[in-house]
Amino acid sequence: MISVALISILSCTGSVITNGGKVVCVNPASRWQINWDTSFDPVQWKNPDLRSEKHLLTLLSVIAGMTELLGFITLGNIFAAHMTGNLVLVAADLVSSGSMKIAQALTIPMFVLAIAGTWLIATRSKASGAALLRLLLVTQFAFLVAVVVLANTLQPSLNPHRLLTGIAAMMAICAMGCQFTLRYFCFPQAPSTVVMTSNLANAVLSFVGAIARTPASNADMLSFERHFRPVCGFVIGGASAALAVYFMGSFAWVLPAACAAIAIQLCPRQD
């Protein structure tokens, strides 16, 4: 994935240590050691702190679903997170018409800049733990608020190929780039909250593995839940955004911004 490769190159010194079924990810850039239980201990899974973390990750998936659909519908057929989708659209335009939309062509370099810029914010801030998580959530919220302002004052959906529409699309891409970076620093072992292909594949594999065993594997079922939750969140976000666009038009961008504000409130005040 573009985002994972880029952040890995930027950080380059992170390490992962396996200890008794747990992955201890030490990321020097964030100065925060994160423990993720890969053994799917049911006691850990029901821990109140872990439940709060799951709610936050699911909400981020909802935000991604909303942003992806709203960007495609109102900002000139731009994918805010799925860069491979933008590559396909650019290639299809070149093959079919011999030209391409400038905004779509700029999505890849803008996504790279968003990832790199958010990485710099995270590393230069000297923040760690919950403080770093809150900083990145606030950064994402600011980008989404910028999209709300542009979408409702300039009405980019009325002319999806003009400059201001492209600027709004770049802000949406920056919000998703920030979310990619947030997961890298704060939840490196968690399922993706933006790209759902791997989550869906892992959910299916875990479910098939669980039902193929007698009795059903508890670890596989917990893995299924872990990967299927963000898929459900993404679908819910996309469906609610589609309804919002139908009834609210460009004002529907308020929804992901509001969800981002809620995500900030879900972040713990301190480590």
Please tell me the predicted confidence (pLDDT) of residue 17: 37
Please tell me the predicted confidence (pLDDT) of residue 155: 66
Residue type, 248: M
Tokens for 216, please give them. 């059903």
Please tell me the predicted confidence (pLDDT) of residue 112: 93
The pLDDT tens digits along the chain (271 residues) read 555 555 544 544 343 333 444 434 444 444 333 443 433 333 333 444 556 788 899 999 999 999 999 999 888 888 888 888 888 888 888 888 777 777 778 888 999 999 999 999 999 988 888 889 999 999 999 999 999 998 887 665 556 566 777 888 899 999 999 999 999 998 888 899 998 999 999 999 988 888 887 776 778 888 888 899 999 999 999 999 999 999 988 889 999 999 999 999 988 766 5
Residue type, 171: M
For residue 212, the surrounding DSSP H or E stretch is none
What HEC string does the chain produce? CHHHHHHHHHHCCCEEEEECCEEEEEECCCCEEEEEECCCCHHHHCCHHHHHHHHHHHHHHHHHHHHHHHHHHHCCCCCCCCHHHHHHHHHHHHHHHCCCCHHHHHHHHHHHHHHHHHHHHHHHCCCCHHHHHHHHHHHHHHHHHHHHHHHHHCCHHHCCCCHHHHHHHHHHHHHHHHHHHHHHHHCCCCCCCCCCHHHHHHHHHHHHHHHCCCCCCHHHHHHHHHHHHHHHHHHHHHHHHHHHHHHHHHHHHHHHHHHHHHHHHHCCCCC
Q: Give the residues across from 19 on adjacent strands.
A: 22
Residue type, 200: L
